Amino acid sequence: MSRLYLLSVILGLVGQSLAACPAGYVEVQGTCLKFSTDSKPYADARATCQAEGARLVVVKTAAMDTYLGDTIKNSYNDNTWIGLDDLNSPTHQFVWSDGSTLTSSDYSNWDGAQPDNPDTEQCVEIRVEYSYNWNNHVCDELKHYVCEKAVLDDCVGDKDEYKTCVEAAIMTCAAQAGISSRHDNRVRRALEEYLPREGSSNLVAALAVAGVGALAVVMMGALYVIQKKRLAA
């Protein structure tokens, strides 16, 4: 079993080991999302997310908005709360669940003449009947909701602590890949030889020479996680 093959298999799993979403959540565009299976009023939906260390989803890009609409359409296909309301604003300024204010220059996807009825409709939904565009609505209505929380990164601390954590993750991934303990030293030697200290160009070059350039794309994701944390320490 070649060292490059070992490295490609293991590093393909390391990214999943070091950065992941908690149970019930899926990683989407750098964040973790959970679509509810039940329907609740806005306040209860918000409280449910907060109890999980999350918040109602913040939608600041067209890509995220499209993903939410498509997922809703292809699953339960019902109106869904997002983390936007004007409950605490006497001027009816909409505020996201992360505390940021929605301004005229920000991304938004209001349907037609929405928002309307500011005194009675203070919470925002993705509305199926409006082609999955945004609509402000009565907050007491029962709707599905989407919780959002940050991607986990289990390796923290100074360089030595991080190195120890990464090595443990690598050996765990080796076991998950079905690589027996007799290969442990070869795995470490492969990492020492091919995992560069200041970037990933040496590793990619080695892969290209070995004729497995396609694996470089997969491995770059795992390398990025490792290098980012190492250089930031």
Architecture of domain 26-149: Roll (3.10)
In angstroms, the CA 233 to CA 230 distance is 5
E strand or H helix that includes residue 159: helix 159-176
The pLDDT-based confidence of 58 (bands split at 50, 70, 90) is very high
**What integer is the mean pLDDT of 17-45?**
89
All structural domains of the chain with their residue ranges: 3-20+153-232, 26-149
**What integer is the mean pLDDT of 177-199?**
49
pLDDT tens string 67-106 = 999 999 999 999 999 999 999 999 999 999 999 999 999 9
pLDDT tens string 136-173 = 999 999 999 999 999 875 555 555 655 566 556 555 55
Radius of gyration of the chain (CA): 23
Kindly write down the DSSP assignment for every residue of 7-64, as one continuous string.
HHHHHHHHHHHHEE--TT-EEETTEEEEE-SS-B-HHHHHHHHHHTT-EEPP--SHHH
The dihedral of CA 171, 200, 159, 153: what is its sign? negative
What's the pLDDT at 168? 60
What's the pLDDT at 209? 41
pTM here? 0.62
Instruction: Name the residue type at position 137.
Output: H
